[in-house]
Amino acid sequence: MRVHPNSRIERPGGNPVSSAYLDGLAKALWIQRMEAEDVHAIVLEMDNHIAEAVRAGRPLAEVIQALGPPQLLAEAYCVALTFESSVRPPGWPHRLFRTIGGVARSIAAFLWLSIGAGLTFVLATAGSVCVVGALVLPYISPRILDPTLRVGLPQFAVFASGAAALVLARQLARWLRFHARFAHARPTLPLADDEHASEAPVGRLAYFPTITPNNNEEVDR
């Protein structure tokens, strides 16, 4: 799945200038039709490059200038990877297994997305009904709602339940939207072998770029 250029990559504590450059690079890579996995890995590596260079005492502007415009850098990546693919085309078993894997992942994603979407819809509907119901509860005529039933439905509890359901629905929707687009495309972080496994990063790797669903409608060109 591809990443929308307006998707922003979170870099806690990152410099706005380098963030803007990296966002531009992500967008340029997307325009080059690069896979989300590659975009993430490249942006993360460039993020590290900038941080290392600045830490070494180089001015940020100089570092970014040395990397060149994001569009040119993205083109260089595209050319490098295209060249590679023309040199070593994958064999038919690789393509077959990749296709089968893709179909299986799509079916699984469709199932859990459908269930999640249904649950979100139910929560949102029930939450809305409860919130509106709680607001209009005092004004409902005794002829429509039995007064004894009204006593059993404290207004605050109904409102709170509805609000909680709406919040839950919103969170679920955001989670679904995020995972539907990016979860499967997260780059893996191979830790080589046992030699390096002992030094396996755990802390800051947790900050591996995540993409907030900020105006990130899927665009199919």
Q: Using the rule CB under 8 A, give the single segment among 47-55, 89-97, 157-165, 169-177 that binds another protein.
A: 47-55
Closer CB to another protein, residue 42 or residue 131? 42
Choose between 102 and 201: whose C-beta lies nearer to another protein. Answer: 201
Helix spans in the chain (H): 16-31, 36-55, 60-67, 70-87, 92-136, 147-151, 155-181, 194-197
47 binds another protein per the rule CB under 8 A: yes
Q: Judged by CB under 8 A, does residue 208 bind another protein?
A: yes
Q: Using CB under 8 A, which residues numbered 174 to 203 contact another protein?
A: 189-192, 196, 199, 201, 203
Among 16, 89, 142, 204, binds another protein (CB under 8 A): 204
Cβ-based nearer residue to another protein, 67 or 117 = 67
**What does the radius of gyration of the chain's CA atoms come to, in whole angstroms?**
25
Q: Which of 135, 134, 168, 169 has its CA nearest to residue 153?
A: 134
Token reading at 196: 């390096």
Position 42 contacts another protein (CB under 8 A):
yes
- Tell me whether residue 4 or residue 11 sits nearer to another protein (CB atom): 11
List CB contacts of 131: < 8 A, sequence separation 6 or more.
Answer: 159, 162, 163, 166
- Part of the chain binding another protein (CB under 8 A), chosen from 38-46, 136-144, 170-178, 210-218: 38-46
148-167: which residues touch another protein (CB under 8 A)?
none
* CA 119 to chain CA mean position, Å: 20
SS3 category, 9: strand
| DSSP classification of residue 88 | S
Q: Which pair of tokens denotes residue 21? A: 């450059």
- Read off φ and ψ for residue 146, nearest 5 degrees: -55, 125
48 touches another protein (CB under 8 A): yes
CB proximity list for 191: less than 8 A, separation 6 or greater: 197, 200, 201
Residue 76 C-beta: closest distance to another protein, Å: 4
Q: Restricting to residues 124-153, which ones interact with another protein according to CB under 8 A?
A: none
Residue ranges binding another protein (CB under 8 A): 11, 13-14, 38, 41-42, 44-49, 51-56, 66-68, 72-73, 76-77, 79-81, 83-85, 87-88, 189-192, 196, 199, 201, 203-205, 207-208
